[in-house]
Structure 1
Amino acid sequence: MKKIVVACGSGVATSTAVNSKIKDLLDSNGFAGTYHIVQCAIAEAPSQCADADLLVATTVPPADLKCDFVSGLPFLTGMGRADAEKKIVEIISK
């Protein structure tokens, strides 16, 4: 089971929107049931990422990050979204 951490400044607003879009992306690519998503504030990301495969954040990633990182901003703006989606699928496919 892959663990994905989705973070934003407060762990509520933009991370909720990104979380939904990541679920749709992964489920439509055949990954339903193979991952779980933890949503949190960026301040909690280092501890949540200790055993995670991926952090998707709408802010700057923490310096001491122990997992792969993909910016969540493309899921909000649309710019660069295809590249972000491709990277997430590649990481989850490992």
Structure 2
Amino acid sequence: MAKIVVACGSGVASSEVTASRIKDFFDSHQVKGVSVDATDFKQLPEVLHNYDVYVWIAKPNQQLEELAKENHIAVVNGMPIFMNMNPEKSYKQIIQALKNMQSANK
């Protein structure tokens, strides 16, 4: 199962809303086999390695960008999804990251 983590500063409102929108998008497009979790920015260094895609609300710092790169985790700007302003590009990036992950696992 592919795993997505959404993170914001506090892990309460923004990341939960964005995670819910991603889940709704997957449901409406019959995307199966993907879990979406929300967390806060402070927890990411400890949990990021458990995920395949990191959707950010609070822009990642250099440490998180390097950690994602080392662990082959796709990083996607989640602000368009959170703000509901042209979220299609972010959704496409998430879908592409999941496809790339599937191809790499074959």
- Tell me if 1:20 matches 2:20: yes
TM-score by length of 1: 0.86
Match of 1:31 in 2: 31
TM-score (norm 2): 0.78
**Identical aligned pairs, as a percentage?**
32
In structure 2, give the amino acid aligned to 1:12.
V
- Deviation of the 1:79 alpha carbon: 3.3
More deviation, 56-65/14-23: 56-65
Between the two proteins, the alignment pairs up a number of residues equal to 93
Q: RMSD in angstroms over aligned alpha carbons?
A: 1.5
Which range moves more in the overlay, 62-71 or 12-21? 62-71
Structure 1: stretches of 5+ with no match in the other structure: none
Corresponding position: 1:56 with 2:68: no
Cα offset, 1:73, TM superposition: 0.4
Amino acid at match of 2:84: G
More helix by share: 2
Contact 2:8 2:39 in 1 (8 A): yes
Q: Against the structure 1 CA distance between its residues 63 and 92, is the aligned structure 2 distance closer, same or farther, given a 3 Å change threshold?
A: closer
CA distance in 2, matches of 1:38, 1:48: 11
Specify the code of the residue in structure 2 equivalent to 1:20: S
Match of 2:10 in 1: 10
2:22–2:36 CA contact under 8 A, matched in 1? no
Question: Match for 1:10: what amino acid?
Answer: S
Unaligned runs of 5+ in 2: none
Shift of 1:24: 1.0
Matched, 1:87 2:93: yes
Relative to structure 1, is the Cα distance of residues 87 and 63 closer, same or farther in structure 2, using a 3 angstrom cutoff? closer
| Cα offset, 1:10, TM superposition | 0.5
- Say which one has the larger Rg: 2
